[in-house]
Chain A
Amino acid sequence: MIVNFLTYLRERPSFLKWLFLAYLAFALVFDFFADRHHAHFWGDHLVGFWAVFGLVGCLAMIVFCKGLSHVWLERDKDHYDK
């Protein structure tokens, strides 16, 4: 049953995409109503600050780590046996 449901969803990627975008929109709207009394620093007062932090952090991390792996760290899997 679970399998069929997931397969059904996988065959409809555009539906999943819109569902996901709807969730992001909901998150942004929710941010306007959040109680900001316990803010730790200035970023906590900005609406959408953590959205930017999450997106930029995620992209930067992918670019940095994948790049570093590609130019420097990447080796054959039996590197040490040679």
Chain B
Amino acid sequence: MTSSIFMHPATMFIIGALLLPLAKKCKVQKIWLVLIPLVAFIQIQYLPESFGKVEWLGFDLQFGRVDKLTMVFLHVFTLMALVGSLFGLHVKESGQHVAAWLYVAGSLGTTLAGDYLTVFIFWELMAFASVFLIWYRKRKKSIDAGYRYLLVHTFGGLVLLGGIFLRYQNVGDLTFELISVDHATLADYLIMIGFMLNAAVPPIHAWLPDAYPEATVTGAVFMCAFTTKTAVYVLARGFAGFETLAVMGAIMTLYGVAYAVIENDARRILAYHIVSQVGYMVCAVGIGTEMAINGASAHAYAHILYKALLFMGIGSVLEMTGRSKLSELGGLYKYMPYTMIFTVIGGISISGFPLTSGFISKSMIIAAAGNNHQLIIMSMLLLAAVGTFLSVGIKLPYYVFFGPKDSGLTPKEAPWNMQAAMGIAAFMCIFLGFYPDYLYDMLPYAVNYHPYTSYHLTETFHLLGFTGLGFYLMVKYLKPHDVSNLDLDWFYRRGAGWFMWVARKPVDATNEWISNVYESIGLRLTMAIARALSWFDWEGIDWALDGSARGVVKGGEQVRQFQTGKLQHYIGAAVVLLFIVLIVVVLV
């Protein structure tokens, strides 16, 4: 038991995070930062199928459950932890690394969990660790965005917990297995909503484009990989085949890409684009066939790498220039050529160019939709692919590195560690494009799909080429402006303002008014009533019920007249009394 907890990769990251300040003290922080993820990346290959079973307060917890679906996610998560840590190697603040690793631990723990309680524990660890990756940016906007992020995730966590409790009450079993669509109850749907919040499914997606652009440069690289993809994993594990997810996912792909077309901040474009890309995976989970689940896993794997690559490229620009708005950038290819090449590789991979990872993963989901005769969904996914190339494949690199105008910035190239991290991710994007079987062999089901058919190639040539033509024709309308666009976070950002206003104005005024009314009328009324009651008590109740009280007082008063307290009066009275007694006795 003890040894099986130590083989859990999350334990490795937690202990690694806790010892990180010590490593810093011994001046080996940089070595430590590479060593732990590297060991974890190798060690996950040797995990047994089941480990870490604990009975706790009558619940059967399972910390480790490994099958092929788990493995493909574990593989990319640990690889990403390595790439992300390498990218952040120059950051001296241990706190950021500690937060990032605890966040990774949460993600790995959720992926390995075999029951809902374990899922919930690591789920919350993820939310609470990742918020520090936003707060470490230390700007007021980031602090605010971090609080909003935390509140939304706390809400999602509570919905999930509510579902788990309800499920326990209904079936008395918390094992985390596939739920059948026909037997899903309210409890299961609550759990699903909790998962969907982390997958950023509209209308509960706005936390993502709100928070990620405000995170630190390295923080955003970690965040773009773990939260949403862990959510895709748990959805694939528990809710494969739910038609709702297929429809919501297809809507997501277009929703995210629409905002990516109009946004100005490069990291916000990428954040909205996560919504779009995760939409493909959610949609595939909803389709639920073997090919679709394979597609969701493959796309999660490929997406983590190229989206992180894009966040690293734009992060490097932000790190070196302090800017991330398209309207303030341009012409940087002269000063950051390697960053430019890596970012463009990320851009063409996400757009699904042949010989890149997007080509071999995204198409699998689209083909799964086609094979399942869901043509509307298939067309929505293809339209989103057009928007992807438009917004992230062309618009983003164009306005940052080339552009109609030169920004006049002359930044240095990013530090070596950032370039190395981007290099690894870029290599993987191309490698998977050339050798898809490396990924296909890891997938949960046997793959019977060949991406490099002549028809798939011609379809891709056309979609990409003519999207490029569209961009060429409309480029003057795409010029970025320094504005922000409303999204559904309006409801809680404005809603919170209204709540505060209502609390400050009407509620406060009513409170003031009531206290005035109370003072001027209420208090006097109370005093008058008190006096009336006291009179009634005195005159009414005493008199009626026992006049004795007043009789006693009156009698006492009269007796008091006699008792003067002077000794001679008492002796005199006694003598008089004795005299009277004697006379009576003698005379009678």
B258, B462, B468: most-surrounded residue (chain A CB, <10 A): B462
Question: Is B261 part of the binding interface, using a Cβ–Cβ cutoff of 8 Å?
Answer: yes
CB atoms of B462 and A62 under 8 A apart: no
A41 touches B370 (CB 8 A): yes
The residue from B258, B337, B371 contacting A2, defined by CB atoms under 8 A apart: B337
What residue of chain A has the Cβ atom nearest to residue B262's Cβ?
A69
Q: Which residue of A lies closest to B484 (CB)?
A: A77
B262 A66 Cβ-Cβ under 8 A? yes
Bound together, the chains give a CA A34 to CA B455 distance in angstroms of 5
**Contact present for B455 and A54 (CB under 8 Å):** no
Closest B residue to A39 by beta carbon equals B455
A to B CB contacts below 8 Å, 7 in the list: A7-B334, A34-B458, A35-B453, A39-B455, A58-B470, A72-B486, A73-B487
Set of chain A residues within 8 Å of B261, measured between Cβ atoms: 61-62, 65-66
User: Which residues of chain B come closer than 8 Å to A53, judged between CB atoms?
Assistant: 382-383, 386, 462-463, 466
A44 and B455 contact, CB distance less than 8 A = yes
* CB-defined contacts of B370 to chain A, threshold 8 Å: 40-41
* Residue picked from A41, A54, A73, most chain B C-beta under 10 Å: A54
- A55 and B466 in contact (CB under 8 A), knowing A73-B485, A75-B485? yes
How far is it, in angstroms, between the C-alpha of A31 and the C-alpha of B454 when the chains are bound? 9
For residue B429, CB closer than 8 A to chain A, the reply is no
Name the distance in Å between B459's Cβ and chain A's nearest Cβ: 5
Whether the Cβ atoms of A54 and B462 lie closer than 8 Å is yes
Find out whether the CB atom of B454 lies under 8 angstroms from the CB atom of A34: yes
Known: A2-B337, A36-B455, A54-B466. 15 other contacts (CB 8 A): A3-B334, A20-B468, A27-B461, A27-B462, A34-B454, A40-B367, A41-B370, A41-B375, A50-B458, A54-B465, A54-B469, A55-B469, A57-B382, A62-B474, A77-B484
With a cutoff of 8 Å between Cβ atoms, the chain B residues found around residue A15 in the complex are: none
Q: Is the CB of B485 within 8 A of A54?
A: no
- Tally of contact residues, A, Cβ under 8 A: 50
- C-alpha gap A63/B478 in the complex (Å): 10
Per the 8 Å Cβ criterion, residues 11-60 of A in contact with B are 20, 23-24, 26-28, 30-31, 33-41, 44, 48-55, 57-59
Is A80 interfacial (CB-CB < 8 Å)?
Answer: yes
Cβ distance A4 to chain B, nearest Cβ, rounded Å? 10
Known: A31-B458, A31-B462. A58 touches B483 (CB 8 A): no
Known pairs A62-B261, A77-B482; A24 contacts B466 (CB<8 A): yes
Residue of B nearest to A80 (CB): B493
8 closest A-B pairs by CB? A58-B470, A40-B370, A54-B466, A50-B462, A27-B461, A55-B466, A69-B262, A73-B485
Chain A binding surface, main DSSP class: helix
Cβ distance A37 to chain B, nearest Cβ, rounded Å: 8
State in angstroms the CA–CA spacing of A64 and B477 once bound together.
12
**Chain A neighbourhood of B367, CB < 8 A:** 40
How long is the Cα–Cα vector from A3 to B454 in the complex, in angstroms?
A: 35
In the assembled complex, how far is the CB of residue B406 from the closest CB belonging to chain A, in whole angstroms?
Answer: 11
Query: Which chain B residue lies CB-closest to A7?
Result: B334
Q: Which one, B259, B455, B477, contacts A38 given CB within 8 A?
A: B455
Contact B341 A2 (CB under 8 A): yes
Taking CB atoms, residues of chain B closer than 8 Å to A68 are: 258, 262
Among residues of B, the one whose C-beta sits closest to the C-beta of A17 is B472
| A13 to B261 alpha-carbon distance, docked (Å) | 24
Taking a contact as CB atoms under 8 Å apart, the answer to whether A62 and B477 are in contact is yes
Q: Enumerate chain B residues within 8 angstroms of A31, measured Cβ to Cβ.
A: 458, 461-462
- Interface contact A54-B375, CB-CB below 8 Å: no
> What is the 8 Å Cβ interface bit string for chain B, positions 500-523, against chain A (1 contact, 0 not)?
000000000000000000000000
Q: What A residues does B473 contact at CB under 8 A? A: 59
| Complex contact B333–A6 (CB within 8 A) | yes
Whether the pair B390, A79 counts as a contact (CB closer than 8 A) is: no
CA of A7 to CA of B470, assembled, Å: 24
Taking Cβ atoms with an 8 Å cutoff, the residues of A that contact B are 2-3, 6-7, 10, 20, 23-24, 26-28, 30-31, 33-41, 44, 48-55, 57-59, 61-66, 68-69, 72-77, 79-80
CA distance A27 to B459 in the complex (A): 9
The reply to whether the CB of B431 lies closer than 8 angstroms to some CB of chain A is no
Tell me, in angstroms, the Cα distance from A38 to B472 when the chains sit together: 32
CB of B287 closer than 8 Å to a CB of A:
no
Contact B467 A24 (CB under 8 A): no
- In the complex, what residues of A have CB within 8 A of residue B341's CB? 2
**Which residues from B are CB-within-8-Å of A72?**
486
Contact in complex: B486, A73 (CB < 8 Å): yes
Q: Across the interface, do B462 and A57 meet the contact criterion of CB distance under 8 Å?
A: no
Which chain B positions have C-beta within 8 A of A58? 386-387, 390, 466-467, 469-471, 474
Say yes or no: B463 contacts A50, CB within 8 Å. yes
A55 in contact with B455 (CB, 8 Å)? no
A66 and B469 CA atoms in complex are apart in Å by: 18
Cα separation A35 to B455 with both chains bound (whole Å): 6
In the complex, the chain B residue whose C-beta lies closest to that of A77 is B484
Are B467 and A57 in contact (CB-based, < 8 A)?
Answer: yes
A62 to chain B, nearest CB (A): 5
Which one of A3, A51, A76, A80 lies within 8 Å of B465 (CB-CB)? A51
| In the complex, per-residue mask of B323-353: 1 if CB is within 8 Å of any chain A CB, else 0 | 0000000000110010001000000000000
Q: Is B409 an interface residue (CB 8 A)?
A: no
Residue numbers in A under 8 Å from B474 (CB-CB) = 58-59, 62
Q: Which residue of A lies closest to B260 (CB)?
A: A65
Contact A77 B465 (CB under 8 A): no
Complex alpha-carbon distance, A76 and B493, angstroms: 15
Instruction: State how many angstroms separate the Cβ of A63 from the closest Cβ of chain B.
Output: 8
What's the least CB distance linking A40 to chain B, in Å? Answer: 3
